[in-house]
């Protein structure tokens, strides 16, 4: 697969969490654009990324899937009057369009499928990313596949320091055998389990942390960029306490293809 373009920066984040080229068996990363530390600076390919607000505060990440719809995690949504979405900006603090929300759709089994569609009160000019179909998921999403994840969440993995929310960062990850995630009760047909492909000094990795819930897991296939997963939760070792970036932890993403019909039905006009 081909990762969405990116350059190195700080550790990623996920709440409750550049694109890769899909070959069907492996993924090769494009050249990074600039290097800092743990996560990645996004390239222009990440224009579909969105930040989700609740009661005027940043809450989660998301992806534009049509001019009037953003997909995020179900645990990130509330009544439309309490929500807003910023699109077209790599910062949740400004730029792009800050849009109201006219409706929220969640699947009937939202406890099992932590995914939701936020309907925007007006159209966004941000480019949408296409959803991976069940056939595309079967062809490109398997243990060993490279994927790219993104989000506006905490860039500081240590829970005793300021988390630094609000800037879009991306990271490269590898899909793994889902037993580690499945053992914790997550339905394997509905979820993708991943680990970071980048290790850093200080016992951390570039991966999801608080605030990246609802954020994208994506890859580029021959037909173009596709959204394969939606950020759900971090699996970590309890005896270490909560800390994203645990090199022996993993992150779980909701499998888009498992909710494909639901998402298609809620794309809007």
11 and 74 housed in the same domain: no
Q: Within this chain, do residues 242 and 209 fall inside the same structural domain, yes or no? A: yes
User: 157 and 231 share a domain?
Assistant: yes
Count of alpha carbons within 13 Å of 7, Cβ hemisphere only?
A: 7
Closest to 215 measured CA to CA, from 266, 150, 147, 144: 150
Read off φ and ψ for residue 54, nearest 5 degrees: -130, 125
* 32 and 83, same domain (yes or no): no
Nearest alpha-carbon partner for 27 in 133, 129, 139, 128: 139
> Does 33 lie in the same domain as 138?
yes
- What is the domain-level CATH number for residue 177? 2.40.10.10
Whether residue 25 is found in the same domain as residue 57: no
Question: What is the mean pLDDT for each group of 10 consecutive residues in the chain (269 residues)?
Answer: 38 41 42 32 79 93 97 95 96 94 91 90 97 94 85 62 67 74 61 64 56 88 92 61 59 90 93
Mapping DSSP to helix (H, G, I), strand (E, B) and coil, where does residue 165 land? coil
Give the torsion through C-alpha atoms of 14, 18, 24, 26, to 10 deg.
Answer: -100
Shared domain check, 240 and 191: yes
Q: What is the pLDDT of residue 176?
A: 80
Number of domains in the chain: 2
Mark whether 136 and 23 lie in a shared domain: yes
Residues 41 and 171 in one domain: yes
Q: What is the pLDDT of residue 15?
A: 33
Confidence (pTM)? 0.81
User: Same domain, yes or no, for 198 and 154?
Assistant: yes
Cβ atoms of 118 and 83 within 8 Å: the answer is yes
Range(s) of the domain holding residue 138: 2-45+130-258
User: What residues contact residue 57 under an 8 Å CB cut-off, 6+ apart?
Assistant: none
Give the position of tokens 């506006």.
152
Task: Please check whether residues 139 and 26 belong to one and the same domain.
Answer: yes
Q: Is residue 148 within 8 Å of 221, Cβ to Cβ?
A: no
62 and 33 within one domain = no
């Amino acid at each position: 697969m081909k990762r969405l373009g990116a350059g190195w920066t700080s550790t990623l984040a996920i709440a409750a969490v550049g694109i890769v080229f899909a070959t069907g068996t492996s993924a090769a990363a494009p050249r990074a654009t600039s290097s800092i530390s743990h996560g990645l600076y996004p390239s222009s390919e990440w224009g579909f990324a969105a930040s989700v607000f609740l009661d005027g505060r940043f809450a989660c990440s998301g992806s534009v899937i049509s001019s009037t719809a953003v997909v995020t995690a179900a645990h990130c949504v509330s009544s439309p009057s309490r929500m807003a979405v910023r699109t077209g900006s790599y910062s949740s603090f400004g730029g792009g369009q800050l849009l109201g929300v006219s409706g929220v759709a969640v699947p009937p089994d939202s406890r099992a499928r932590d995914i939701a569609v936020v309907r925007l009160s007006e159209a966004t000019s941000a480019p949408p990313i296409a959803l991976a179909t069940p056939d595309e998921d079967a062809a490109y999403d398997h243990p060993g596949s490279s994927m790219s994840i993104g989000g506006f969440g905490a860039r500081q993995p240590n829970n005793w320091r300021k988390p630094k929310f609000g800037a879009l960062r991306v990271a490269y990850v590898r899909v793994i055998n889902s037993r580690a995630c499945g053992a914790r009760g997550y339905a394997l047909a509905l979820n993708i389990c991943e680990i970071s492909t980048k290790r850093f000094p200080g016992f951390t990795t570039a991966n999801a942390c608080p605030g990246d819930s609802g954020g994208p897991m994506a890859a580029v296939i021959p037909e173009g960029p596709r959204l394969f997963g939606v950020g759900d939760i971090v699996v970590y070792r309890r005896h270490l306490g909560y800390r994203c970036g645990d090199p022996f932890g993993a992150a779980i993403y909701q499998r888009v293809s498992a909710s494909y019909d639901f998402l298609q039905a809620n794309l809007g006009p």
